[in-house]
Chain A
Amino acid sequence: MQDKDATYFQELRRGTAVLACLLALRTPNYGYALLEHLEAAGIEVEGNTLYPLLRRLEAQGLLTSEWNTDEARPRKFYRTSQAGIDLAQRLSADWERLTDSLRHLTEGTAR
């Protein structure tokens, strides 16, 4: 990726982190493991973006959290709330619609 194009890619990906978190956290997970999980799934997000984002989504009621102290190291587990699942569904639908629109434009056919 050339430097001058980097901004376009950044802008295109902005916002996908939220949707990715909401989808991934339907299974409860904690900060670092989620980072690894998203990376493995091909979603690039930095820790300094993800960790504050999780807390913000929690404050907005889209995630719930719970400290798990069963293991040697206490970890804060996040899970997508019902409101988060609803939002994720609507965002996904919009994403599908955009993909569809772009495919139509790529193929040069009117909708």
Chain B
Amino acid sequence: MNASASASAPTPGAGATAASGVTLTDRYIWAVVRALPEAQRADVDRELRASITDALEARLEGGEDASHAERDILTGLGEPARLAARYADRPLHLLGPEYYLAWKQLLILLLAIIVPLAAVASATIQALTGATFGGVIGSAIGLAISAGVHVAFWTTFAFVVVERTRTDRSPLVPFSLDALPQPPRAGQPGLAGFVCTTVLLAAWIAALIGQQFWPFVTDASGETIPVLAPALWPLWVGVFVLLAVLEIVWAYALWSTGRYTRMLFLTGAALSVAFAVIASILLTQDVINPEFARAVGIAEWTGRGKVVNIVAAIAVGAVAAWRIVDGWITFAASRRQG
């Protein structure tokens, strides 16, 4: 480490454009230090420049071409922004492993609460102000997407700020053994099943009632033509709504009990049979409103003894049978486990 070579000190940037007088090394160092706090810039610039010149000098002594050696050294130092991040001790990721899990859990929780709330609130307001069916659905979807994007952005933003300002690396929420979940037993019904069932049945109830009022199809005078046969309204439609409500109650009972009991199996089977029997009997008559069928051009398929009614009756019976068998298998399995 003497200065013997100083007389023949190499000039970095033989490959620089003569006009600008700015060498590749100058440009590289600038790209590094501009990303650093003002206070560090001059010192890092001076030290890095010395290190690069030292390396260049060593390469030139080995008889290398100056321009080639400079390029090689700078390439070896890597991307300037990456080097700057190392100098400033800044993370090269958005969210590190310390915060990723907390971020993910909070984000899922917030999305699950806020997105459906936004959709329901928007749909309610639109429906109350007399919007069309399409308008209600459209505004619900629109607000749900916008709420989801906001929640995701601001949650992530908050975590990114915390990651870059908090010096303590311990977890935000300490892990606790008491919070460990219970492993599910085989055949144990979960919350997801209950929520799914409820949503589907709610949609079914809405469709049953809605078909009477929503103007899907109208006659010449603008009156709504119901989808279901007039003879079914309101008594038989009411019966199906009642059955659906009972199914929701049953699904809730199953979820809160946490396992298939004999009582749940029997009531579930009874509900299936009731639905299948009532539906099959009704399917021997007109279920689809003949006027509606004519209006949408499916009259030759529906009605007493026609293909739609027969297929529907078979399907209803098959679903009920499958549900009873499935219920029995689950019940038997949970009984074996004690």
Contact = CB atoms under 8 A, between A and B. Distances in A.
Interface of A: 29-33, 36, 46-49, 51-52, 55-56, 67, 71-76
Given A46-B76, A48-B77, A73 B87 contact: no
A52 B87 contact: yes
Considering residues B3, B54, B76, which has the most beta carbons from chain A within 10 angstroms of its beta carbon? B54
A7 B130 CA distance: 64
A56 B54 CA distance: 21
B48 interface: yes
Contacts of B78: 48
Nearest to B89: A56
A71 B83 contact: no
B82 interface: yes
B86 A32 contact: no
A56 B87 CA distance: 8
Contact of A47 (B2, B6, B9, B51): B51
B121 interface: no
B228 to A, nearest CB: 65
Given A48-B78, A72-B9, A29 B53 contact: no
A48 B87 CA distance: 9
Given A47-B51, A51-B48, A51-B51, A30 B87 contact: no
A36 B59 CA distance: 12
Contacts of A29: 1
Q: How large is the interface on B (under 10, 10 to 19, 20 to 34, 35 or more residues)?
A: 20 to 34
Contact of A33 (B9, B54, B77, B86): B54
Given A51-B47, A52-B89, 13 more contacts: A30-B50, A31-B47, A32-B51, A49-B86, A52-B87, A55-B44, A72-B3, A73-B6, A74-B46, A75-B1, A75-B47, A75-B50, A76-B50
B55 interface: yes
A33 to B, nearest CB: 5
Interface of B: 1-3, 6, 9, 43-44, 46-48, 50-51, 53-55, 58, 76-78, 82-83, 86-87, 89
28 contacts: A29-B1, A30-B1, A30-B50, A31-B47, A31-B50, A31-B51, A32-B50, A32-B54, A32-B58, A33-B1, A47-B55, A47-B76, A48-B78, A48-B82, A48-B83, A51-B47, A51-B48, A51-B87, A52-B83, A52-B89, A55-B44, A55-B87, A71-B2, A71-B6, A72-B6, A73-B9, A74-B50, A75-B50
Contacts of B50: 30-32, 73-76
A32 B87 contact: no
A55 B55 CA distance: 19
Nearest to B88: A52
Nearest to B54: A32
Contacts of A47: 51, 55, 76-77
B89 to A, nearest CB: 6
Given A31-B54, A46-B76, A52 B6 contact: no
A49 B86 CA distance: 8
Contacts of B47: 31, 51, 75-76
Given A72-B9, A74-B50, A52 B86 contact: yes
A82 B233 CA distance: 92
Contacts of B46: 67, 74, 76
A73 B51 contact: no
A48 B85 CA distance: 11
Contacts of B44: 55
